[in-house]
Amino acid sequence: MNDRVFAYFGVAPDSHEWLDWAWQLRHRITSVFDLSEILSLSDEEKRGIAHSLGTFRMAITPYFASLLDAEDPACPLRMQVVPSVHETRVMPWETEDPLNEDKDSPVARIVHRYPDRALFLATFQCAAYCRHCVRKRRVGEEDFPISHEERDRAIDYIANTPQIRDVLISGGDPLTIGDEVLESIIAKLRAIKHVEIIRIGTRIPAVMPMRITPALLAMLKKYHPIWINVHFNHPRELTTQAFAACTAIADAGIPLGNQSVLLKNINDDAGIMKELLLKLVQARIRPYYIYQCDLFEGSEHFRTNVELGLGIIHALTGHISGFAVPRFVIDAPNGGGKVPLYPDNVVSLDDKRIEIRNYEGQVYAYPQPRCGTE
């Protein structure tokens, strides 16, 4: 734990201020000066941070800052939230909107790509601005929730599109919104008969777990079925407080899934990923996706070879419970949607049998059904 953070803010880790999520949000670290008070930064790092802040703002909650190694620039949590000059180096294949979400946005705040589900961007504010965010073009533009007019237009679109049965509320991070405003969105969605499932996508349990309050959970319980997708990338993010926040969500009857991003020199190792996944299932979080890092501008230093991700899935398969192994996916550029990738375990296939390779590399034959073929 980085004790410099507590000294800088003049609070204790068990103080009322520290445990108040609104205090955490108000006291986010947003400048090079603040950052240099809690981390050891070289002059070169300071110049790189200041340069990168010209394109994408910084915000780190005091809680998450307390988890960063003050002396090690290669700290896997520090690399996710501290700006780098690498973010300003744009490759020819990188774009501002690599998933082409704007093309699939019929009205403001809605992305409707898949037939039966829609993405509702309820805010562009996050508690902490991750440097690997695919929505860097928008996230951080505002520190206020969606307007009533935008909210109503987005909900009207969903209400008038009966094939939408599943709505994912995301952003930004919707749990940075106060309970009352968030409930106004969820209640309107729940009143739409064809909306069967409401999901919330959030990184809050990792970066500001004190936001998961009894009042928030009591509100969410009124609108079941609610699902929550969380975002943990490294086992060190699953602290005692984060673990408690997630188990409280599960105790409220809300299923949890986790989405990680494969990040170079952060979690691109089968051992680290195994530790993360096993911690997740202990916290009653189902590992859902590992994403290959998207092609947003300034992402090259975060990206790994695709083969590395496939190798991690291969190394995990058979060595931990099947439900603990997530799908490895690429969110295809230009709006192609999520495409799962699998290690090559089909050796041969014909009308008589399939030969398959197991996690140990052994090959087994499975006969095809013969009924009606002779």
Catalytic residues: 113-114, 117, 126, 130, 133, 135, 294, 331, 338
Instruction: Report the residue count for the chain.
Output: 374
Strand partners, 348: 355
Rounded-to-integer distance, Cα 357 and Cα 252, Å: 41
CA dihedral sign, ordered 30, 34, 38, 39: positive
- Residue 309 backbone phi and psi in degrees, to 5: -65, -40
CA dihedral sign, ordered 219, 216, 172, 98: negative
Six token digits for residue 220: 């969410």
Question: Which residues lie closer than 8 Å to 356 by C-beta, 6 or more apart?
Answer: 345, 346, 347, 363, 364, 365, 366
Residue 167: burial class (beta carbons within 10 Å; 0-12, 13-18, 19+): buried
CB count in 10 Å sphere of residue 358: 11
Six token digits for residue 21: 């999520």
Beta strands in 131-180 (DSSP E): 166-170
Q: How many CA atoms lie within 13 A of 219 on its CB side?
A: 15
Question: Which residues lie closer than 8 Å to 31 by C-beta, 6 or more apart?
Answer: 58
Tell me which residue of 370, 63, 103, 113 sits closest to 244, measured CA to CA.
63
Rounded-to-integer distance, Cα 50 and Cα 40, Å: 15
Give the β-pairing of 197-201 and 226-230: parallel
* Residue that has been written with the tokens 């009653």 in this structure: 284
